[in-house]
Structure 1
Amino acid sequence: MNAPRSAPVRLLAASLVLAASTVFAQDTIKIGEINSYKALPQNLVPYRQGWLLAQEEINAAGGVLGRKMETIFRDDNANPGDAVRVAEELLTREKVELLSGVTLSHVGLAMADFARQRKVFFLASGPLTDKVVWDNGNRYTYRLRSGTYALAASVVPEAAKLKKKRWALIYPNYEYGQAAAAAFKENLKKLQPDVEFVAEQAPPLGKVDAGAITQAIADAKPDAIFNALFGADLIKLAREGKTRGLFEGREVVSLLTGEPEYLDPLKDDAPSGWIVTGYPYANIDTPEHKAFLAAYQKKYNDYPRLNSVVGYATAKALAAGIQKAGSTDTEKLIASFKDLQFTSPFGPVVFRPQDNQSTLGIFVGRTAIKDGKGVMPSGTYIDGSKLQPSEEVIRKLRSNAS
């Protein structure tokens, strides 16, 4: 039997264990990532893959500030309340040093408010509502992906070139859809003052009666259609509209439709010739994207989706921001992200100091059918800095930012 250790020996052993655990904790920078993994697998499996690829590259290059990046992923169940609860657990139990993530707009707004209340840095990766950085913006919250206003503004020049006078609008009846329709109308009227909006269909999200919508739009006899439906709602509209000939002889301008996440499920029912925002991954001829595409395909034996880019770029932005700050201290991160520059698969990106929004841009092009499936074969990249309202408008929107 071993002799019992004396109190000083036990105290020394405990101190060594504590010191070892402290050193281990300091070896990693823990990031809490919250997203709707179960609700949106078509978006967030690619997102997580892109994030992990970036993290692998960052750590292989020596990490950040000499520490490895470690990400703790949690599901928000597409619910704002669950997101806030998980965020609190990540801070208190997992001891993460900052928060990131979110795809759904209503969850993004809840997380931005949580960041403000808890005074913790939060990089929103993909919620489209501009309230995250404008009306409800705060100094703790930054956003990577361009929002609804920029999406709508990106397609307006192409819409104006069509010189179509009578437009119909289709959009989901919640924050994203309402804001998209309003921004499209506002910006198109500036370029084409005589435009008329002859019909609007705003079904509840996920409850599209495609037959009724198609008939109502056809009855209005528009020259062109603006669409902001996505996912399952887009599939119903595209198939019903194709069956009934709604799109024959009519131009369609559609947000998000050129993203592989939404084109792939349509297969040969995908629309051809629509003007869309999206991701022509096979034909982006820049060194940054070629390197990303090759690395992604090598690691996953699959092509990236737009959310792959969003996840990858979010992780890279965090690494750049922490490196510049020299710390994960909240106040230092807030300062470092002002005018932060980093390289994304789409090229250089800057976080704008006036509204905490990054300049990650948007591709605009037309859809086509190739080998029995929908594709976006090419697109023009528009830098996000060119798709924002005036400085005066942004100042007014952020007048209550805290």
Structure 2
Amino acid sequence: MKLTNKGMQRSLAVVIAAFLLFLTACGSNGGSAPASSGTEKPAGNQADSVKVGVLLTFSGPFATVGEGLKRGLELYFELNNHTVGGKKVELVYEDDENNPQVALRKYHKLVDEDKIDLLIGMTTSTTLYALRDQIDRDKKPLIVANAGGNDSSWDKKSDYIYRAAASNYQQGAAISDYIAKNVGKKAYIVSYDNPAGREQAEAFKSAYEAAGGQVMQMEFPKVGTNDFAGFMTQIAQAKPDVVYNMGPSTDGMRFAVQFKEFGLKDKIALISTVPTDLATTPEMIAALDGVYGIKIFKDSLDNPATKKFMEAFTKKHPNIPPNIEIMGYDSAMLADKAIEKAGSTKAEDLIQVMKNISLDSPRGKFQMDPKTNNPISDFFVQKFVVKDGKLGFEYLDTMKDVGMPEKNPFKK
């Protein structure tokens, strides 16, 4: 078939147009930059919203801690129109299963696939230590919601990791002086065989002995221990004045119940770190009655931030006494205020703000210490009390301005 002049002209025009389109496409790509993989963060997302990864433990023995942190985190954003730094917040949750390998895999998913701006997380010291080096290399800001690992403020301190909770050092040491001076001079320690358990026990022992007390024995049962009979027998034989039990999850609740069942509760004072929301039966409530503890939060503090938190929390969760939740709440507040003050979600801008940030927290004082990237806060000595079948607190004393040493005092 022959082409007419008009047909040839149309064909030539199509070829030229296609060629020009090809040149335009090459030019827009600079001739060398790779095409988008489809995983890059959209250009408008930075201006319109902030994506926050939340990496906590939602399964296994520490699931109750993760759920409590989530309740506090979400309450803060609900009270602040679901914004952070004045921009809409998008929360991306992942369960680290309290497994270092799983935590690292979920972290990479949040950073590489979800393109988060910053991370809130780490329920346990185990997962915090597992992710520390990768976070430092990636320069991805992390707000630690619960994990108290001391070394993240000492030898493994990173410019990109800031704690909203309390260190293991603070949690172990804060109550020691009061106990030595008001409860008894001889202590027996039963604490988790994991980083948090050993670090809190070490801090309690050091501060307790500095206050004139004597630690008779230290035992470290495995996480998930069901039967504490052997430990109860040893405690009964040792006859201490007080037992310090670091067991913040279901292990701690089992220990308190068995402590009462073995008839030790009426003879020996017990210090426990178990959260009140685990006491779900009359047996558990009775086991905690009269037990000592230490908290970073006092629900009756006379300040607007505490009243606002308590009003909102009790309305939303009328049957749960707030405990772990305050650390989730403060983690969200730290993210919000840091982005607001920095005017940016860039890592280098955020860390400059977080180093010295102070918060109007429901817990009262919250002042970040730039020497440790850990907050200085008041701690409250308490005793569990049962009224009308419900578990509450009697506050005994306030430990003011509790921080932690700049250097590891236990390092040999």
Structure 2 counterpart SS, 1:283: coil
Shift in Å at residue 32 of structure 1?
A: 1.0
Shift in Å at residue 151 of structure 1?
A: 1.0
Partner of 1:374: 391
- Using the alignment, how far apart are the partners of 2:298 and 2:208 within structure 1? 28
Runs of 4+ off more than 6 Å: 6-9
Partner of 1:29: 50
Structure 2 counterpart SS, 1:376: strand
- Using the alignment, how far apart are the partners of 2:154 and 2:125 within structure 1? 13
Counterpart of 1:122, as a letter, is: L
Report if aligned partners of 1:260, 1:279 keep a CA contact under 8 Å in 2: no
Structure 1 counterpart SS, 2:52: strand
Partner of 1:268: 285
Shift in Å at residue 279 of structure 1?
A: 7.1
Partner of 2:71: 49
Give the 3 Å change call, closer, same or farther, for CA 280–351 of structure 1 in structure 2: closer
Find the partner of 1:147 among 157, 162, 167. 167
Give the 3 Å change call, closer, same or farther, for CA 282–136 of structure 1 in structure 2: closer
Report if aligned partners of 1:226, 1:252 keep a CA contact under 8 Å in 2: yes
Partner of 1:206: 224
Count residues with an aligned counterpart: 379
- Using the alignment, how far apart are the partners of 1:230 and 1:270 within structure 2? 15
Residue by residue over 1:22-50, the C-alpha shift from the partner in whole angstroms, topping out at 9 and shown as x without a partner, is 43553101111101112333222232122
Shift in Å at residue 224 of structure 1?
A: 2.3
Counterpart of 1:248, as a letter, is: D
Partner of 2:111: 91
Partner of 1:229: 247
Find the partner of 2:80 among 54, 58, 64. 58
Partner of 1:313: 330
- Using the alignment, how far apart are the partners of 1:217 and 1:396 within structure 2? 26
Give the 3 Å change call, closer, same or farther, for CA 340–165 of structure 1 in structure 2: closer
- Using the alignment, how far apart are the partners of 2:136 and 2:297 within structure 1? 37
Counterpart of 1:247, as a letter, is: K
**Higher alpha-carbon deviation: 221-230 or 104-113:** 221-230
- Using the alignment, how far apart are the partners of 1:184 and 1:108 within structure 2? 22
Partner of 1:159: 179
Give the 3 Å change call, closer, same or farther, for CA 342–167 of structure 1 in structure 2: closer
Partner of 1:400: none
Find the partner of 2:404 among 374, 379, 388. 388
Shift in Å at residue 197 of structure 1?
A: 2.7
Find the partner of 2:199 among 171, 175, 179. 179
Residue by residue over 1:365-388, the C-alpha shift from the partner in whole angstroms, topping out at 9 and shown as x without a partner, is 1112223343324354435x4242
- Using the alignment, how far apart are the partners of 1:302 and 1:69 within structure 2? 28
Partner of 1:251: 269
Identity of aligned residues (%): 25
Partner of 2:154: 134
Normalised TM-score (structure 2): 0.82
Partner of 2:29: none
- Using the alignment, how far apart are the partners of 2:369 and 2:70 within structure 1? 25
Find the partner of 1:38 among 53, 56, 59. 59
Structure 2 counterpart SS, 1:341: coil
Gaps of 5+ in 2: 1-16, 26-37
- Using the alignment, how far apart are the partners of 2:250 and 2:46 within structure 1? 43
Structure 1 counterpart SS, 2:174: helix
Report if aligned partners of 1:214, 1:237 keep a CA contact under 8 Å in 2: no
Give the 3 Å change call, closer, same or farther, for CA 205–386 of structure 1 in structure 2: same
Matches within 5 A, 1:228-377: 228-254=246-272, 256-257=273-274, 259-264=275-280, 267-278=284-295, 283-377=300-394
Report if aligned partners of 2:84, 2:335 keep a CA contact under 8 Å in 1: no
Counterpart of 1:260, as a letter, is: T
Partner of 2:123: 103
Q: Return the structure number with greater helix share.
A: 1
Residue by residue over 1:256-279, the C-alpha shift from the partner in whole angstroms, topping out at 9 and shown as x without a partner, is 23x323444663332322221247
- Using the alignment, how far apart are the partners of 2:288 and 2:155 within structure 1? 35
Greater RCO between the two (CA within 8 Å, min separation 6)?
1
Shift in Å at residue 170 of structure 1?
A: 1.3
Shift in Å at residue 134 of structure 1?
A: 1.7
